[in-house]
Amino acid sequence: MAGYRAEDDYDYLFKVVLIGDSGVGKSNLLSRFTRNEFNLESKSTIGVEFATRSLNVDGKVIKAQIWDTAGQERYRAITSAYYRGAVGALLVYDVTRRTTFENVERWLKELRDHTDPNIVVMLIGNKSDLRHLVAIPTDDGREFAEKESLYFMETSALEATNVESAFAEVLTQIYRIVSKKAVETGDDAAAAASAPGKGEKINIKDDVSAMKRPGCCSN
Amino acid sequence: MRNGREGDRGREAGEGSGETPAGNSSLNLEWRFNQTLRNVQGLLKGRTFPGKILLTRKSEPHNDPVSLEPSPELGRSYSENELGSSESINSGSEGSAQVSGDMINNTKLQKTKSSITFGEGSSPDVQRSISEGRSTDSARLTKFTKELSGQTVVLENLRELAWSGIPPYMRPNIWRLLLGYAPPNSDRREGVLARKRREYLECVSLYYDIPDSERSDDEITMLRQIAVDCPRTVPDVTFFQHALVQKSLERILYTWAIRHPASGYVQGINDLVTPFLIVFLSEHLSGNVEDWSISDLSPDKISNVEADCYWCLSKLLDGMQDHYTFAQPGIQRLVFKLKELVRRIDEPVSKHMEEQGLEFLQFAFRWFNCLLIREIPFHLVTRLWDTYLAEGDALPEFLVYIFASFLLTWSDALQKYDFQEMVMFLQHLPTHGWTHQELEMVLSRAYMWHAMFNSSPSHLAS
Ligand SMILES: Nc1nc2c(ncn2[C@@H]2O[C@H](COP(=O)(O)OP(=O)(O)OP(=O)(O)O)[C@@H](O)[C@H]2O)c(=O)[nH]1
Ligand SMILES: [Mg+2]
């Protein structure tokens, strides 16, 4: 048992959502992070899509279950159902299109309406590679993020700039909150408030057992 | 909304117009039924395409990175099917109704009889007729020609024929007829089409060819969304990337959206234009789609094609208005029906999905929204649409059967997966290597299940 780690073995499972206007690059951020792929003409996301990746944080394996949502307004009714249970969110805009930045406020409200107040949110200005087309100066993004107490980063899914760090930062912050809560109170309520798990590995596995491959890990 | 084809027939017969005796109706049914059995038969015979083709993507010229990772589970489940001879056909419906088993037996019995149609396929002709879903079978060609030659096309007969696939060169005309865009009366046809095409051009100049200053904010948002989506429309077929095609697509979508304010433009509708574009352009361009050059066409021709696409899209979506309105209730309703139908047909899969917490909305939403265009290779889409358009008003209900059949193609595989694996699998279904054979199988089974389950539809009422 010792030393062996099944691919699907993890200490924490965190649900994260990707939201923001259509065409800002949500699906490409996801494919860059989970498969190291970029697609110049990616199809629009209809409804929701989903991918996972595991990361190491403080010696713990964190598995991110990331839900990529459709950006068009019409799909909001369908996609908001998937916000439930999310402990992290990446709210993406396109640094070359002002309207996508203007809509961030609406997305934030949408998120606040459907998720736990403790959710970790990062504002992301994507397509930073298009330097000559930038319509939103970095400072504007950062300022807005500070005002709303969001984390902030500029990324390029195309050049793979900051994609890894953005996801890693969000997951680390979630982990900090969850493990701190578990240490402070050690009760289920605290853990339930922000993450599907508490400090003890075995309990977490029990909590998420529905997600595990049957018969793969026996506790 | 009509209840489905058989229901309709029953009603027609019951109403006693005298023209359609009950016997004729059941004859049609039987004909279709035999057709189905032959399809199944053909699939049994032609099963020289196990996991390998699916995994090597022989006929796939474009790189889709996802499919480069062969799934071991998949290979396994296919080879299991391979061993199972006729049972493999039933793999999607194990433990389902008795009727299904009987049908498979019938299929077996008929094996020798129909093996002429589906011989080992050494001659190219046979191969071709299989790969074209038998739409080029000469007897069928004659029937099509006969149906079309009358002064007034009898749509019900045409639907009957078209259901099993339309010969490619007849497709443009037949689609226009089936959708009610071209009138059945051949004397009026040219005149009506010419008028409709002019009407479209007027709409374009009225709504599209205007400065942004004359558009409302919502209209600008919509136009932007369409502009974002056009380059992302079936991107694996490079033909659609041509600037002229992109412009046509944009005009069609925007004009349609403006004229249908209840829904407006909804992402995914862009996909639905593509089969029309391909089919109506095929009247003017020949050979492989990837080699087409739209700049060879005169602006007049392009404009006519565009108008036809517009009207046919409109006709298609008229029957599915609430699929694209707020919260998309039409799709939600059909997703619910799909779930119910799958529960009836394949209890084990249904139970497994439920236990894993997988909701049908998570995968089937896109199926209904884009009518499966995203899920199968593009070269099979027009054949699939022959059946769609033949269903006419009954299409939304019949989609439920097609999608159930499509889903249960992977009944065995799904039962081995946990929640995450299922979601990922269903997002990227291994259909890259699909040929007409797999598609015919899906359609035949949908047809059988429709015949079996639609007669007692009370369980499906929501
Ligand atoms: N230059 C550049 N283009 C990008 C970047 N990320 C995405 N794109 C392009 O932007 C377009 C839209 O990307 P998607 O990832 O599909 O956008 P989305 O937010 O998922 O869109 P919806 O699914 O419609 O909500 C595609 O053409 C991408 O190639 C980036 O970092 N740089
Ligand atoms: Mg997307």
The interface predicted TM-score of the complex, written ipTM, equals 0.82
* Residue B176 to residue B196: CA distance in whole angstroms: 12
Q: Which two tokens stand for residue A11?
A: 């200490």
Residues ≥6 apart with Cβ < 8 Å to A201? A11
Both tokens of B337, joined, read 């029906």
On whether the CB atoms of residues A217 and A205 are closer than 8 A, the answer is yes
Q: Which domain holds residue A169?
A: 12-182
User: Looking at the complex, does the CB of residue B314 fall below 8 Å from at least one CB of chain A?
Assistant: no
Strands (DSSP E) found in B94-140: none
Asked, for residue A51, whether it belongs to a domain, the answer is yes
Q: What's B263's DSSP letter?
A: T
Please, which pLDDT band fits residue A180 given cuts at 50, 70 and 90?
confident
Token pair 């099944």 is at which residue?
A: A6
Helices B243-259, B186-203: axis angle to 10 degrees equals: 90
| Helix (H) or strand (E) segment spanning residue A91 | strand A88-94
Residue A167 lies in a domain: yes
Q: Is B261 on the interface with A (CB under 8 A)?
A: no
Is the Cβ–Cβ distance between A57 and A175 less than 8 Å?
yes
CA distance B54 to B67: 9
- Mind telling me how many Å the CA of A33 is from chain B's nearest CA? 14
Q: Rounded distance, CA B417 to CA A105, Å?
A: 39
Q: Compare CB distances from A46 to B267, B418, B420 and report the shortest one's residue.
A: B267
Count of C-beta atoms within a 10 Å radius of residue A216: 11
Distances (CA, A) of A142 to A182, B105, B168, B439: 31, 69, 57, 51
Query: Token digits for B129?
Result: 């007729």
| Token pair recorded at residue B85 | 């001879």
CATH code, residues B5-179+325-453 = 1.10.472.80
Q: Determine, yes or no, domain membership for A91.
A: yes
Q: Where are the alpha helices (H) located in B260-346, listed in sequence order?
A: 269-281, 299-318, 329-345
> Is A147 near chain B, with CB under 8 Å?
no
Q: What pLDDT was estimated at residue A78?
A: 87
Q: Structure tokens of B290? A: 């990837």
Is B267 within 8 Å of chain A by CB?
Answer: yes
Q: Do B232 and A43 touch (CB under 8 A)?
A: yes
Q: Report the distance separating Cα B349 and Cα B337, nearest Å.
A: 16
**Which residue owns the Cα nearest ligand 1 atom 30?**
A127
Cα of B292 from ligand 1 centre, angstroms: 28
Using the atom order of ligand 1, give the atom closest to the CA of residue A20: 19
What is the C-alpha separation between B267 and B320, in angstroms, rounded?
Answer: 15
Position B338, amino acid:
L
Using a CB-CB cut-off of 8 Å, the residues of chain A touching B366 are: 46-47
- Answer with the residue of higher pLDDT: B48 or A153: A153
User: Strands A48-57 and A60-69: what pairing?
Assistant: antiparallel
Helix (H/G/I), strand (E/B), else coil: A89: strand
Distance A44 CA to ligand 2 centre (A): 5
Which residues have C-beta atoms less than 6 Å from ligand 1?
A 22-28, 39-42, 44-45, 70-71, 126-127, 129-130, 156-158
- Half-sphere CA count of B94, side-chain side, radius 13 A: 13
Look at A99-108, A129-138, B92-101, B111-120 and tell me which has the smallest mean pLDDT.
B111-120
Instruction: Evaluate whether B378 touches B236 at the Cβ level (below 8 Å).
Output: yes
Alpha carbon of B115: minimum distance to chain A alpha carbons (Å): 42
pLDDT of A37-95, one tens digit each? 999 889 999 999 999 999 999 999 999 999 999 999 899 888 988 998 999 999 999 99
Substitution site in A18, A22, A27, A28 for ligand 1 pocket (most atoms within 8 Å of beta carbon):
A28
C-alpha separations of B384 from A3, B41, B163, B423 in Å: 51, 19, 9, 24
* Closest ligand (CA of A73): 1
- Termini Cα distance of chain B: 15
A99/B224 touch (CB, cutoff 8 Å), yes or no: yes
CA distance A178 to A188: 11
Rounded CA separation B323/A92 (Å): 28
Cα of A94 from ligand 1 centre, angstroms: 9
Would an 8 Å CB–CB cutoff place A214 in contact with chain B?
A: yes
> What does each C-alpha distance from B270 to A44, A48, A84, B366 come to in angstroms?
10, 18, 30, 13
CB pairs under 8 A between A and B: 82
| DSSP state at residue B235 | T
- Distance in angstroms (rounded) separating the CA atoms of residues A47 and A54: 24
CATH architecture of the region B186-318: Orthogonal Bundle (1.10)
CA distance B99 to B449: 10
Q: How confident is the model at residue A145, as a pLDDT?
A: 98
Q: At residue A12, what are phi and psi to the nearest 5 degrees?
A: -135, 145
> Kind and range of the H or E element at A207?
helix A201-207
Per CB-CB distance under 8 Å, the chain A contacts of B357 are 210
Domain with CATH 1.10.472.80 in chain B: 5-179+325-453
Q: How many domains does chain A have?
A: 1
Q: How far apart are CA B134 and CA B116, in angstroms?
A: 13
- Cβ atoms < 10 Å from Cβ of B313: 23
CB A139 within 8 A of CB A183: no
Q: Is residue A191 part of a domain?
A: no
- By three-state DSSP, how is residue B330 classified? helix
| Tokens standing for residue B65 | 């990175």
Ligand nearest to the CA of B232: 1
Ligand 2 centroid from CA B150, angstroms: 49
What element of type H or E holds B448? helix B436-453
From B409's Cα to the closest Cα of chain A, the distance in A is 21
Q: Does A51 touch chain B (CB under 8 A)?
A: yes
Nearest alpha carbon to residue B86 among B44, B42, B37: B44
Give the closest ligand to the alpha carbon of residue A71. 1
Q: Is A6 helix (H, G, I), strand (E, B) or coil?
A: coil
- Which residues make beta-bridge pairs with A66? A16, A51
Longest Cα separation, chain A? 55
Torsion of CA B26, B31, B36, B41, to 10 degrees: 130
* Rounded Cα–Cα distance for residues B453 and B6 (Å): 11
**CA pair distance B154, B148, nearest whole angstrom:** 9
Angle, CA A214 vertex, CA A210 and CA A215 arms, to 5°: 135
Interface of B with A in 409-438 (CB under 8 A): 418-421, 423-424, 427
Task: Assign residue A93 the CATH number of its domain.
Answer: 3.40.50.300
The answer to whether residue A120 sits within a structural domain is yes
When CB atoms are compared, the residue of B232, B241, B423 closest to A44 is B232
Give the span between the Cα atoms of B360 and B404, in whole angstroms.
11
Q: Which residue in the block uniquely carries the two structure tokens 């069609």?
A: B252
Contact B147, B153 (CB under 8 A): yes
What average pLDDT does the structure give for chain A?
A: 83
Determine whether the interchain pair B326/A74 forms a contact, defined as Cβ–Cβ distance below 8 Å. yes
Contact A210 B370 (CB under 8 A): no
Ligand that comes closest to the CA of residue A131: 1
- Within 13 Å and on the Cβ side, how many CA atoms surround A94? 18
Residues of A in Cβ contact (< 8 Å) with B257: none
Q: Has residue A98 been placed in a domain?
A: yes
Beta strands across the sheet bearing A151-154: A48-57, A60-69, A12-20, A88-94, A120-126, A151-154
- What is d(CA B427, CA B245) in angstroms, rounded to the nearest whole number? 28
Closest CA of chain A from B298, distance in Å: 28
Residue closest via CA to ligand 1's atom 11 equals A23
pTM: 0.78
Spatial separation of the C-alpha atoms in residues B180 and B200, rounded to whole Å: 16
Q: Would you give per-residue pLDDT tens digits along chain B (462 residues)?
A: 333 343 333 333 333 333 333 444 444 544 444 444 444 444 434 333 222 222 222 233 333 333 333 333 333 333 333 333 333 333 333 333 333 333 333 333 333 322 222 223 333 333 343 445 455 678 899 999 999 999 999 999 999 999 999 999 999 999 999 999 999 999 999 999 999 999 999 999 999 999 999 999 999 999 999 999 999 999 989 899 999 999 999 999 999 999 999 999 999 999 999 999 999 999 999 888 888 988 889 999 999 999 999 999 999 999 999 999 999 999 999 999 999 999 999 999 999 999 999 999 999 999 999 999 999 999 999 999 999 999 999 999 999 999 999 999 999 999 999 999 999 999 999 999 999 999 999 999 999 999 998 865 554 444
A85 dihedral zone (left: phi>0; alpha: psi -120 to 50; beta): left
Protein residues with C-beta less than 5 angstroms from the ion ligand 2: A 26-27, 45
CA distance linking residue B385 with residue B371, whole number of Å = 9
